[in-house]
Structure 1
Amino acid sequence: MTIADAATAWSWNPATDIQQMWAFPFMVNAFRAGTVVAVLAGVIGWFMVLRRQSFAGHTLSAVAFPGAAGATLLGVSAVYGYFAFCVGAALIIAAIPRAGHDTGSEEAAVTGTVQAFLLASGFLFIALYKGFLGGVNSLLFGSFLGITTTQVDVLAAAAAAVLVVLAVIGRPLLFASVDPAVAAARGVPVRVLAALFLVVLGVATAATSQITGALLVFALLVMPAAAAQNLTPRPSLGMALAVVIALAVTWSSLTVAYYSPYPIGFFVTTFAFACYMASWGVRLLRERSGGTSGAAAAGTPAPELWTAGGLL
């Protein structure tokens, strides 16, 4: 069954329309899974954008595809491939030592190399696989249809584990993200935190990619978080806004896709992009009116948020 098969015309009565959508178990699970994905992507995406590691996030989402393809080739569940490749790629990116001051360029080079090699491996796995490849689109673009209650529970457990880790390391990670040199001078284990964050990002990507696909998870990781950082430099408010935007994008995309014959991926990326562009409009208006400081306009926590031990 597809969304278009189950849907009828929009009645303009929200209560009736929601009741109709949720009469189908697959739509209930879709909203449950989408909610978990949105919360997880909003929080971890905020840190990813702050740390300027969007390219790393894109790579980890992209390598979910060869991971699933390799698992399919071996005849095991695609879930194992998602986690093996996403976490493995995160460990490789984190483990290679950086020399000199331009560590950002070195990380980008390593990340691009890992992405190119693993994507090429994915195409090789598909070429070697002799079975039916009708699920390739789902590997790339995902599908909220056919999500089981067990999948939602596993996704919720993985999201809870990731959020607990972020809650534990959040304060020093924020300190190390804003000013790694000062953080290192004060004894913060910057390198360990960077590696741990990449692993956590890999786990989050693997958990969500099996539902959103290798490409859509990146749209939810980067655009709501980037929009939130355009709107406020405050960490707690920024993360909350990123989650709210991701939830609005996910829920509205599911609803519109239910009442249309078009794929949900188009609506997710379109609505997220619209929110991002709107945030830029708000930011430009604030800059012209002189209502923000340079740090706030740049989406970076302002100096007044500093404390002796980190950031608020």
Structure 2
Amino acid sequence: MSPAITGFFTSPTVHVALAVGTFVAIVTGIVGVFTVIRGQSFAGHALADLGAVGGSGAYLIGISQLWGFVGAGVVAALLMELIGVRRLRGRDVATGVVFALGLGLTSLFLYWDTTIGGSSNAAVSVLFGSLFVIDPGIVPLVIGLSVVAVGLVVVLYRWLLMDSLDSDLAAARGVPTRLTGVLFLVVLALAVELSALTIGAILSTALLIGPAATALLLTRRAGVAVLLSAGIGLVVMVLGCFVSYESYYWAGGDGNWPVSFCIVALVFLAYVAARLLAGGRGRSERRRREIADPQPLVDRAPVTEIAG
């Protein structure tokens, strides 16, 4: 084994990064599947943008940016539920103004972080993540928040699945859809802000949506998609850390490539590969059906898959 690879597995910095990254990848992979199924990617982007306000503010007052991310994210999630996610989605102008204000506050706080707090790396840390410089002291907090988020998903699993597939039918069967929606937005906020800690507020939804969308291209079963998404997220997280660490040795002496870029690039490649695989599989299936049944496709009745 080369010294570079040995150094990766023996570095305390890498150990902390992998510990945090593992829990964050699993949480975002699980929560991301329901986010995609429920069509709430918009909410994830919103929580990331507004969470950055808390992250930059936390730097200013001298506390862990994770507390800022999570605090702002949970408050934003509750406000979104109060206003109504569907109403927010349709009110493009008002929504854009609110999010612009959030980003404006973030820029102000980051300016103060530099001029008053004397922190020259606050902007990079908040916006693009700092997985290799995470304080080991917050690892227990990351684990605790991850357990809370996954635990809520486990408890709400059947309600979430029913509400995601057909909200009216779920309500008719006695599912408390409003409570389910509120709790899921809180879980979504936790997942997004944990992701922001690792790869930054701007890129956080890539880790939330990418592995989940990839998994859903490969399977139609929600349970399998959840496990597959968590697995994909974990793989790209570990490989991203490894590529970033190893880049020091072949990047021309200019330092390591940003770990956030490496992770997001691998998420993108995994999604493209799944898209190509799903497209090829779909064409093969259509060809097989045409051979078995030469009747033109336009004459066939549409088929609707219903999850039981």
Aligned counterpart, 1:115: 99
Aligned counterpart, 1:205: 192
1:262 aligns with 2:249: no
Amino acid at match of 2:276: G
Residues 59 and 112 of structure 1 are in contact (CA less than 8 Å); yes or no, is this contact kept in structure 2? no
Amino acid at match of 2:49: A
58, 66, 82: which is aligned to 1:95? 82
1:75 positional shift: 4.2
Q: In 1, distance between residues paired with 2:84 and 2:48?
A: 23
Aligned counterpart, 2:11: 24
35, 49, 60: which is aligned to 1:73? 60
Task: Sort the Cα spacing of 1:31 and 1:105 in 2 relative to 1 into closer, same or farther, 3 A.
Answer: closer
Residues 55 and 111 of structure 1 are in contact (CA less than 8 Å); yes or no, is this contact kept in structure 2? no
Task: Sort the Cα spacing of 1:44 and 1:201 in 2 relative to 1 into closer, same or farther, 3 A.
Answer: same
Instruction: State how 1:89-238 maps to structure 2 within 5 Å.
Output: 89-97=76-84, 105-106=89-90, 112-129=96-113, 130-131=115-116, 132-134=118-120, 135-238=122-225
Amino acid at match of 2:44: G
1:154 positional shift: 1.2
1:276 aligns with 2:271: yes
Residues 30 and 147 of structure 1 are in contact (CA less than 8 Å); yes or no, is this contact kept in structure 2? yes
Farther off after superposition, 88-97 or 113-122: 113-122
1:35 aligns with 2:22: yes
Residues 4 and 246 of structure 2 are in contact (CA less than 8 Å); yes or no, is this contact kept in structure 1? no
Gapped regions of structure 2 (runs ≥ 5): 248-255, 290-303
- Indicate the structure (1 or 2) with the bigger Cα radius of gyration: 2
Q: In 2, distance between residues paired with 1:175 and 1:162?
A: 19
64, 76, 101: which is aligned to 2:51? 64
31, 52, 59: which is aligned to 1:44? 31
| Identity over aligned pairs, percent | 33
Q: What does the per-residue CA deviation read over 1:124-162, in whole Å, with 9 as the maximum and x for residues that have no partner?
A: 323445322422101111112133432222111110011
1:115 positional shift: 2.4
Task: Sort the Cα spacing of 1:149 and 1:125 in 2 relative to 1 into closer, same or farther, 3 A.
Answer: closer
206, 223, 230: which is aligned to 1:243? 230
Structure with higher helix content: 2
1:108 positional shift: 6.5
Residues 142 and 213 of structure 1 are in contact (CA less than 8 Å); yes or no, is this contact kept in structure 2? yes
1:88 positional shift: 1.1
Q: In 1, distance between residues paired with 2:132 and 2:84?
A: 42
Amino acid at match of 2:239: S
Amino acid at match of 2:90: E
Q: In 2, distance between residues paired with 1:208 and 1:198?
A: 15
Residues 61 and 86 of structure 1 are in contact (CA less than 8 Å); yes or no, is this contact kept in structure 2? yes
Farther off after superposition, 51-60 or 110-119: 110-119
1:245 positional shift: 0.9
Q: In 2, distance between residues paired with 1:114 and 1:46?
A: 27
Aligned counterpart, 2:298: none
Residues 56 and 111 of structure 1 are in contact (CA less than 8 Å); yes or no, is this contact kept in structure 2? no
Residues 51 and 193 of structure 2 are in contact (CA less than 8 Å); yes or no, is this contact kept in structure 1? yes
Q: In 2, distance between residues paired with 1:108 and 1:184?
A: 28
Gapped regions of structure 1 (runs ≥ 5): 1-12, 294-300, 307-312
Residues 131 and 197 of structure 2 are in contact (CA less than 8 Å); yes or no, is this contact kept in structure 1? no
1:70 positional shift: 2.0
Q: What does the per-residue CA deviation read over 1:241-292, in whole Å, with 9 as the maximum and x for residues that have no partner?
A: 1011111111111111111131112211111001111111111112212279
1:86 positional shift: 0.6
Task: Sort the Cα spacing of 1:97 and 1:53 in 2 relative to 1 into closer, same or farther, 3 A.
Answer: closer
1:69 positional shift: 1.7
Residues 225 and 239 of structure 1 are in contact (CA less than 8 Å); yes or no, is this contact kept in structure 2? yes
Q: In 1, distance between residues paired with 2:266 and 2:213?
A: 14
Task: Sort the Cα spacing of 1:111 and 1:56 in 2 relative to 1 into closer, same or farther, 3 A.
Answer: farther
Amino acid at match of 1:289: S
Amino acid at match of 2:267: A
Q: Provide the TM-score with structure 2 as the length reference.
A: 0.83
Task: Sort the Cα spacing of 1:230 and 1:54 in 2 relative to 1 into closer, same or farther, 3 A.
Answer: same
Amino acid at match of 2:145: A
